C-alpha cells in the first residue's frame, strides 16, 4: 500500500464532495433551517433518526441542540430516536426493525414537530416508514440523504441530498451540514 497516495486520494475525494455539496445543497439547507426554526419557535421538537454512523450523528446533533453548540444559551428541543436500547430492541423484536423509529414517532411526536431522517442511500426502510408516519401526523418529514436521494425523494421535504456515491463522504457532509444547522439555528432564533 502506498499510504501517501491513499492519504492524498482520500483528501482529494473529500474536497471534491465538499465543493459539490456547497454548490448543490444551499437552497435545500436553507429550507431545512427555515422549517426547523419555525418548529422550534412554535414549541415543537426535532426528532433525529438513522442507522449505523447516521445513528451516531443523530445523537451528536440532538446533543448540540439540547446542551449547547457554540455558546451558552437556552436549550433547544431535540431528541435522537437512536439511543433508547430498550425501545429499539423491543420494537425490533415485537414490531420488526423496519418500525423502530415509526413507533417512537407515534408515541413522542405531535403536530408541528420535525422528523429528520438520516440515510446515506435514501432507502433505509425504517427511516422511510418513520417519515411516512410523521407526515400522517402533521410532523414535517425532513431528511439528509446522499447519492440520488433514493426513496426519500417524494417523501422527505425538506430533503438535503449530498451529491456523492461514497458512503463515508456522504456521512462527512451530513455531520458538517448538521452542525451548520445547529449554528444557524442559534443565530436564526436570536440565541447568540
Residue-level pLDDT at 7: 97
Q: Count helices and strands (H / E) in the chain.
A: 6, 5
What are the extents of the domains in the chain? 3-188
In the chain, the percentage of residues whose pLDDT exceeds 90 is: 99
Omega cis (within 30) before 97:
no
Q: Rounded to two decimals, what is the model's pTM?
A: 0.97
Confirm if 142 and 157 have CB atoms less than 8 A apart: yes
**Phi and psi, residue 118, nearest 5°:** -125, 120
Residue-level pLDDT at 102: 98
Residue-level pLDDT at 30: 98
For residue 26 the three cell numbers come to 444551499
Quick: pLDDT tens for 69-83.
998 999 999 999 999
Confirm if 112 and 44 have CB atoms less than 8 A apart: yes
Between CA 90 and CA 157 the distance in angstroms is 29
Look at domain 3-188 and name its CATH class. Answer: alpha beta
Residue-level pLDDT at 71: 87
Amino acid at each position: 500500500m502506498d499510504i501517501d497516495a491513499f492519504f492524498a486520494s482520500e483528501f482529494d475525494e473529500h474536497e471534491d464532495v465538499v465543493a459539490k455539496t456547497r454548490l448543490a445543497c444551499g437552497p435545500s439547507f436553507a429550507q431545512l433551517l427555515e422549517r426547523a426554526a419555525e418548529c422550534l419557535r412554535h414549541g415543537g421538537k426535532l426528532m433525529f433518526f438513522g442507522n449505523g454512523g447516521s445513528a451516531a450523528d443523530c445523537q451528536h446533533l440532538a446533543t448540540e441542540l439540547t446542551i449547547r453548540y457554540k455558546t451558552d444559551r437556552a436549550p433547544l428541543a431535540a431528541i435522537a430516536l437512536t439511543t433508547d436500547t430498550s425501545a429499539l430492541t423491543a420494537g425490533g423484536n415485537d414490531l420488526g426493525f423496519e418500525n423502530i423509529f415509526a413507533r417512537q414517532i407515534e408515541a413522542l411526536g405531535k403536530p408541528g414537530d420535525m422528523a429528520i431522517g438520516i440515510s446515506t442511500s435514501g432507502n433505509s426502510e425504517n427511516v422511510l416508514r418513520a417519515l411516512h408516519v410523521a407526515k400522517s401526523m402533521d410532523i414535517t418529514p425532513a431528511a439528509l440523504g446522499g447519492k440520488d436521494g433514493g426513496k426519500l425523494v417524494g417523501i422527505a421535504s425538506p430533503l438535503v441530498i449530498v451529491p456523492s456515491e461514497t458512503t463515508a463522504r456522504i456521512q462527512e457532509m451530513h455531520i458538517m451540514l448538521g452542525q451548520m444547522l445547529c449554528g444557524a439555528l442559534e443565530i436564526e432564533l436570536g440565541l447568540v
